[in-house]
Structure 1
Amino acid sequence: MSGRVTDVLMTQAMRWFGPRDPVPLAHIRQAGATEVVTALHHIPNGMVWPREDIAAHRALIAAAGLGWTTVESVPVHEGIKTAAPNRDRLFDHYAATLRNLAAEGVTIVTYNFMPLLDWTRTDLAWELPDGARALRFELEAVAAYDLHILKRPGAEADYAPEVVERAARRFAGMDDEARGRLERTIIAGLPGSEESFTSAQFLDAINGYADTGPDQLRANHIAFLEAMCPVAEECGIRLVVHPDDPPFPIFGLPRMVSTEADVTALFAAVPSMANGLCFCTGSFGVRADNDLPGMVRRLGERIGFLHLRSVQREPDGAFHEAAHLEGSAEMTSVVAEVVALQRREGRSIVMRPDHGHQMIDDLNKLTNPGYSLLGRMRGLAELRGLERGLAYGRAN
């Protein structure tokens, strides 16, 4: 064995939420990342990101010795998702933002097309056997909120009878504090989610999707890509869609980026290579019918950004964030396919470890749920070691 890795390796990154992030840039660099994945969270959805703001953000990052080539995310305004009368103006704003980002050296722009909510969990501090804390999702808890707090009309039809029964018992056993905590967890807005709601506002927003079923949402997504991909091509940016999280309808809202068939159809509808994928092993991995290593192999040319995390699927539709090399994600096989993809195409793909456990000293710190430092640093180290081991083995 030569002792030298000949493969192109993933670009190691971590997410940074800006100057207010409890994890400073210096700590991200010390953790081993060479880039950050970030956004301008202070810009309201639907507004243009000014070039001077982008440049100032880049200067902060560069001063810390880090790079910035990937944005996560430029949010897609709800008016685009519902084809509202102001959609053309929102398209113009999004296009201007892409041009401004490209002028400052950004090459990958992440977005999602999930109605209203970003990633959704029901517990942000679920205790693991070793004392660390993880994010967790329980369908029963969602149903308890949906049926008994939100009181969405017709919600009962969206759940199996046994889930409705368990949700009623669960809600009855919760005190006011527990009910309030569940409500805040689901709708108050997580880091990376650009809007937050009260339950009454949330219900009104859901009603705004009354005329936007699955077929219409897909058509609106295609219209967005048909408008934006020519701009992205022109300025050298690839748009990468983040899959639905969780990858199934929730609160009566459709979701259309949940399976391999979903994204394959999207690429067929808009064949531009600017139409790409943020491959999130956690989001896709919630569904046992998603073949993660096979998806990397078959969709590889479209993958512009990697979220590597693993969930542990549980009975009854529940899941929690596992350690990065454990859980249901088949991470060794996934990374082996990434190594082969990068070698085949001769390019390094930006990767970030996602949703680390809150652990060790971070248990006593204020952290963004899923984005404390030490759990992500552990994940980054494990993923880096796994990739290099696979690259050595395949290169010699």
Structure 2
Amino acid sequence: MNRREFIYRALLAGAAASLVGCNTQQKSQSVNGFLSACTQGKDQHFVALFSHAGEIQFKTTVPGRCHGFAPHPVNKTAIVFARRPGQFLLELDLQTGEVIQQINAQSAHHFYGHGCFSKDGKYLITSENNYINQQGLMVIRDSQTYQVVAEYQSGGIGPHESAPLSQNNILVVANGGILTHPEQGRKKLNLDTMQPNLSYLELASGKIIDSYQPPHHQLSIRHLAVSTDDTVVMGLQYQGDRFHQVPLALTHRGENQLQIMKAPPEVLMAMRQYVASVAINPVANQAVLTAPRGNLVTVWDIANKTLVDSLKLKDSAGVAYDRHGDRLLLTNGYGNIYEYAHQPQQGKQSSIRDLNSSKYGGQQAGVQSLTGSQQIKLKWDNHVVPVSV
């Protein structure tokens, strides 16, 4: 049985029955909080778990700057992804903060900083670049051994963030369109010819079911989140002229083209053509996008495809709701952790509460600090991921 037949049979079985995760040795202690990567100084890199109150539960030293996370849906572990163009993944024990093992990239491959598990937890799916063939790949690994069982073309160059839809066999992929090579660091090698897209990939066969392009070929689709009804919300990073006004948020759910989320021109210009992170509130059907270059947090109504709120937050970085959609936490590049509260009632404004108050927060006037003065000498990376197992 070849690799494709192997994964096809396993995925069909997963659709027909409720499958358990790969590790049946479950520990009793629950884990409930948020994961993020951070740096201290120039060359000290960590991953940290912090609570809903902003208290750091552990801070683990890692061999290089990290970016995204993939919590296992059953086990108390998570995969940590090195920042693009990274060469390693780490399996992390969420209870102790210990690194269980390191998984290195295959020859002529590098990672793109993101990945996800299949919903049943049996497979780890990583976005990768074959820099010899200049191919974007979605690589399927067995979650017990992390051995590669299949490789599929991603539908474009520069696959970044991906997520499974509610139908376990379909993966949505943000192909950023940007060609890189590890020998040239993070240099973007094809800005004039880049062709980003959003692709839907069938995991059983590797077939690209559909692919959709943004309204400009230099609008790189990097980050996304998927709502409970499989609406995909995308955050964009524009690679063209800095004076161009372009959309920075798109949605898609079955239409024949990507849908633009509308915002006033002054807000779009203030976002400075760059979205770092996307999170969806499953209760309010809203999406929150951070724009660190513009020192903004933006809130969007998914159904109406419009901006509903924007707040100043200096060097805004990661954003994540808890699993119930009750709490939204934000981080920034100054080591602060915030709670955002949107107040839709008439006469009440939105607010950000600083869980680690500091004069460097730079949030808008009138924001009330939740705790006393406490400067954490960390720089949070662009992503926060909730964990609850």
TM-score when normalising by structure 1: 0.30
Where relative contact order (Cα < 8 A, 6+ residues apart) is larger, the structure is: 1
TM-score when normalising by structure 2: 0.30
The answer to which structure has the higher strand fraction is 2
